[in-house]
Amino acid sequence: MGKPSILSAFKAVKFLFQKPVTLRYPFEQKEPAPRYRGFHLNDWDKCTGCGNCADICPNEAITMVEAPEVEPKPGEKNERPQLDYGRCCFCGLCVDICPPGSLRLSRDYFHIHFDTNTFVFLPKDEAKDEETFLPPEEYSILQASLTHRRKDYEGFSSHPDFTLFEPERVPMPQVSPEERRLSFVEQVLGYSREEARREAARCLECKLCEDACPAHLKISDYIRAIYEDRPDEALRKIFEDNPIPAICGRICMRHCETACSLSIRGEPLAIRWLKRYTSDSIVDYREALELQPAPTTGKTVAVVGAGPSGLSVAHFLALKGHKAVVYDALPGGGGMMRIGPPAYRLPVESIDKDVAYTASLGVEFRFNTKVGTDVLFEDLLNDYDAVYLGIGTTSSRSTRVKNAEKCHLALDFLQRNKIGRPVEVGKHIIVIGGGNVAMDVAREALRLQHIQRPGQETKTMTVSLEDWDEMPATEDEIEEAKEEGVEFNPAWGPKEVVLDDSGEVKGLACKKVKSVFDEAGRFSPSFYEDQVMLLEGDMIIEAIGQGPDFSFIPDAMMENVEFTERRKVKVDEDGRTTLPKVFAGGDIVNVNLDAVTAIADAKVAAEGIDRLLSSES
C-alpha cells in the first residue's frame, strides 16, 4: 500500500468523462431475470383448487376463494387462490408446493394505486385473462399494474426436481411375478410400520380425495393418524364411513387416488394400501373402536345380501339400535367379495375379520339362506319393519355365440376356486373379456395351470372387444397379468366356439373389431366380418359382465319396481325403491359397480331406513 496522499483522490476526475451507469427510468428499463419472483400467474385449467399454496404461505397472503365459473369435479375444487399483495413476500414457497405446477411468478412487479383493495388480486394467466395480459405493443410501463401486465413474461416457476412435495411413492413390497403365479399367495405384502408412516407423510391434506370418494371417507384425518403412529385412531376415522376396511384396503377402486393432487406430477398417495395397513395392524377392532350401539329400538330390518352394501347397512343400522338380519346364499359374508376377487388379492380371512366385527355389534347373519327359495321375499316384507336389497350382480352374462354353452362362466369359475373345489383347467385357456373380472379369471386360470399341470406347456389368453387404450380393466391389473404371462388379443370379438369331432372345445373363432361404441358413445360393437382368426384352446371362460338376479321378487311385485334409463333400480334420496319399505343400494343401484360406492349407498339407505323407522314409533 502506497503512502496516503491527499492528491490521489483526484484521479477520480476521469469518471466525469464516462457514460453514467444510472438508468433513466422509465425511458430506460432493466429487464428482470428469467427467474424473477414478481406477481403471480395461475393456469386455471391446471389449478385444482387444492389450497396447498394457501397452507404453506408464511404470511397468510393467499386465500382460497370460490370461483363460480369452475365446475367442481373429482380432483378439482371450484376454488382458486387469491393473493393479498399487502402481505406477500414473494418467497415462492407457493410455487414450489403447487402440485400441478399451475402457480408461477411472473417478472411484473409494478402496482401503484390509492385504493388498497386493488392489492387483493385473483391471479390468472394470459390463457384466461386477455384484458390484463397485453402484447408488448399495447403494454406501457406508465400504466403498469396488477391489471395491466405483460404477456409471455414468465418468471420463477415450478421445477419437478425442486418441488416441496415428494412425487414418489414408498414402494409396496410384492411377491415377484415368477413366484406368485405358482400359487394363490397374497400378492401384496403390506407396508411395515415405518413404510406406512413414510408414505403417510407424503399427504398434503388438500382433501381432494375426500370429495372424490363416493363414501367421503375422512382420508386426510386417518392418513395423519397413521403418520402420527396412531393406527387405532386411524381405524376409528375409517369406521365413521366405512365398516369394511380390510376388504376395501385390498380391492377398493381408489377414486381417491385418481383425484390425489400428488398424482398430477407424480404417484398418488397409496391411500388404499394405508387403509389396508390400518386394518391389518389392529388385531382386534373392538378394542380399538369402542363403538357402542344405541339402545335397542325394537325395530327389525332384513338385509338381502352380505356384500359390501349389505354389511355396511347392517353395521350402520346396528349402531342406531335397530336389529339387522342379513341373509345370504353363500356360506359366509362378503357377497361378491367372497367369490370374486381371487385369494391372491383378497384372502377370505380378511373378509371374515370385517364380517366378525359387524356381527359383534349384534347383527345376525343367516348364511346358506337364499331369499326366494329358503325364505320367501314376501315373508321378509311381512316379518320386518324394512327390507334392504344389496343383492349385487350375481349372474354372469354369456356371449351367446354358437356353442357358447360349452364355455365356463366367470363367476362360477371364480367361486369354485375361492371357496369350493377348484376347477380342472385345460392346457390352453381362452378368457373372453377385457374387464377386471376377466383379468381375475385369466390370472386364476394361469395359477391353476401351474398347480395342476406343472411342467407342461400351458397358455392363457384373453380376447377383448376393446383395444389397449379402451380396455376397462385397470392399468395395474393388465400390467400384472402381463407380468405373470397372460397373453392378450385386444380388439377381437368372439364369432363362434369351434368344436372338434367329439364335441369338445377346439378353439374360438374371432373377428376383428371395427369399433366398440357407436357415435353416441353407446356400447354397440361393429366388426370386419372378413377378418377372422381361430384361437386354439381347450377351455373357454366368458367374463363379459354380470347382471342382477331379481327372480326372488314375485312377478306381481316386480311390476312395481321402477328402473332408471341405465337399467338400475330407481331409488330416492333416502335409498328407497318404489316398493313400500324396501330400500336398495350397491351394484343394482349405482353405475360404478364397486365396493366403496356400495358403502356410500348403504350409508344413505341406513339414514333413510332410520328416518322411516323413527317416524313410525
Partner 1 sequence: MIPGSQPTDTDSERELELYFGPQHLGMVGNFSITLKVRGDRIVEATANPGYLHRGFEKLMEYRTWMQNFPLVCRVNVVEPDSMEMIYAMGVEKLAGLEVPERAQYIRSIYLELARVGSHLFGLWAYSNMLGFDTPAQWAMYHRDLVLDLFEELTGGRVYHIYLWPGGVRRDFPEGFKDRIVETLHSIGGCVPDYDSTFFNNRLFHQRAHGIAKISQERAKALGATGQVLRATGMRYDIRKVEPYAAYDQVDWEVPTREEGDAYSRIWVIRDEMIESVHMIFKLLDAMPGGEVYNRVPNPFKWEIPPGETYVRCESSRGELGLYMVSDGGDKPYRVHFRTPSYPHGLTILEELLKGASIADVGNTMISLYIVAPEIDR
Peptide bond connecting 26 to the previous residue in cis, omega within 30 degrees of 0 = yes
Interface with partner 1 includes 8 (CB under 8 A)? yes
Tell me whether residue 85 or residue 90 sits nearer to partner 1 (CB atom): 90
Q: Which of 26, 29, 33, 572 binds partner 1 (CB under 8 A)?
A: 33
Interface with partner 1 includes 84 (CB under 8 A)? no
Contact region with partner 1 (CB under 8 A), list: 83-91, 394-402, 537-545, 566-574: 83-91
Least separation, in Å, of the C-beta of 476 and partner 1?
25
Least separation, in Å, of the C-beta of 35 and partner 1?
4
Interface with partner 1 includes 193 (CB under 8 A)? no
Which helix (H) or strand (E) segment holds residue 249: the answer is helix 245-251
Q: Which of 161, 457, 469, 565 binds partner 1 (CB under 8 A)?
A: 161
Q: Which of 17, 27, 114, 162 binds partner 1 (CB under 8 A)?
A: 162
Interface with partner 1 includes 164 (CB under 8 A)? yes
Asked if 55 contacts 81 with a C-beta cutoff of 8 angstroms, the reply is no
Tell me whether residue 163 or residue 597 sits nearer to partner 1 (CB atom): 163
Tell me whether residue 210 or residue 354 sits nearer to partner 1 (CB atom): 210
Task: For the beta carbon of residue 400, count every other beta carbon within 10 angstroms.
Answer: 9
The arrangement of strands across the sheet holding 523-536 comes to 492-499, 505-517, 523-536
Which residues partner with 517 through β-bridges?
A: 523
Asked if 419 contacts 339 with a C-beta cutoff of 8 angstroms, the reply is yes
Least separation, in Å, of the C-beta of 152 and partner 1?
17
Interface with partner 1 includes 160 (CB under 8 A)? no
The footprint of partner 1 on residues 407-426 (CB under 8 A) is: none
Which residues partner with 489 through β-bridges?
A: 463
Interface with partner 1 includes 1 (CB under 8 A)? yes
Contact region with partner 1 (CB under 8 A), list: 84-92, 143-151, 529-537, 572-580: 84-92
Beta-carbon contacts of residue 548 (< 8 Å; ≥ 6 apart): 391, 392, 393, 394, 395, 587, 588
The footprint of partner 1 on residues 324-353 (CB under 8 A) is: none
Interface with partner 1 includes 357 (CB under 8 A)? no
Tell me whether residue 5 or residue 292 sits nearer to partner 1 (CB atom): 5
φ, ψ for residue 495 (rounded to 5)?
Answer: -110, -55
Which residues partner with 459 through β-bridges?
A: 428
Q: Which of 29, 86, 89, 524 binds partner 1 (CB under 8 A)?
A: 89
Least separation, in Å, of the C-beta of 229 and partner 1?
11
Tell me whether residue 167 or residue 190 sits nearer to partner 1 (CB atom): 167
Q: Cα(446)–Cα(502) distance, rounded to whole angstroms? A: 26
> What are the CA-CA distances from residue 551 to residues 208, 325, 328, 494, 555 (Å)?
41, 21, 15, 29, 8
Cα end-to-end distance, the chain, whole Å: 104
The footprint of partner 1 on residues 484-513 (CB under 8 A) is: none
φ, ψ for residue 8 (rounded to 5)?
Answer: -60, -30
Q: Cα(14)–Cα(315) distance, rounded to whole angstroms? A: 92
Tell me whether residue 32 or residue 177 sits nearer to partner 1 (CB atom): 32
Q: Cα(304)–Cα(577) distance, rounded to whole angstroms? A: 14
Asked if 557 contacts 541 with a C-beta cutoff of 8 angstroms, the reply is no
Q: Which of 21, 112, 142, 520 binds partner 1 (CB under 8 A)?
A: 21
Least separation, in Å, of the C-beta of 54 and partner 1?
12
Angle at 65 between CA 60 and CA 66, to 5 degrees: 165
Contact region with partner 1 (CB under 8 A), list: 161-169, 249-257, 510-518, 566-574: 161-169
Answer positive or negative: Cα dihedral of 226, 232, 236, 238: positive
CA-closest candidate to residue 276, choices 257, 290, 262, 263? 257
DSSP track, 221-242? HHHHHHHTT-HHHHHHHHHTT-
Interface with partner 1 includes 36 (CB under 8 A)? yes
Interface with partner 1 includes 35 (CB under 8 A)? yes
Interface with partner 1 includes 2 (CB under 8 A)? yes
- What number of residues does the chain have? 617
Q: Which of 41, 204, 441, 609 binds partner 1 (CB under 8 A)?
A: 204
Asked if 305 contacts 392 with a C-beta cutoff of 8 angstroms, the reply is yes
Tell me whether residue 150 or residue 338 sits nearer to partner 1 (CB atom): 150
Interface with partner 1 includes 91 (CB under 8 A)? yes
The footprint of partner 1 on residues 548-607 (CB under 8 A) is: none
Q: Which of 85, 110, 139, 165 binds partner 1 (CB under 8 A)?
A: 165
Least separation, in Å, of the C-beta of 56 and partner 1?
6
Applying CB under 8 A, what is the total number of residues that bind partner 1? 48
**Which segments of 340-489 does DSSP mark as H helices, in order?**
348-360, 377-383, 410-419, 436-452, 475-484
The footprint of partner 1 on residues 139-158 (CB under 8 A) is: 155-156
Whole-number CA gyration radius for the chain: 31
Least separation, in Å, of the C-beta of 158 and partner 1?
11
Interface with partner 1 includes 68 (CB under 8 A)? no
- The identity of residue 389, as a single letter, is L
Q: Which residues bind partner 1 (CB under 8 A)?
A: 1-6, 8-9, 11-12, 15, 21, 32-37, 52, 55-56, 58-59, 89-93, 96-97, 105, 155-156, 159, 161-166, 200-205, 224, 227
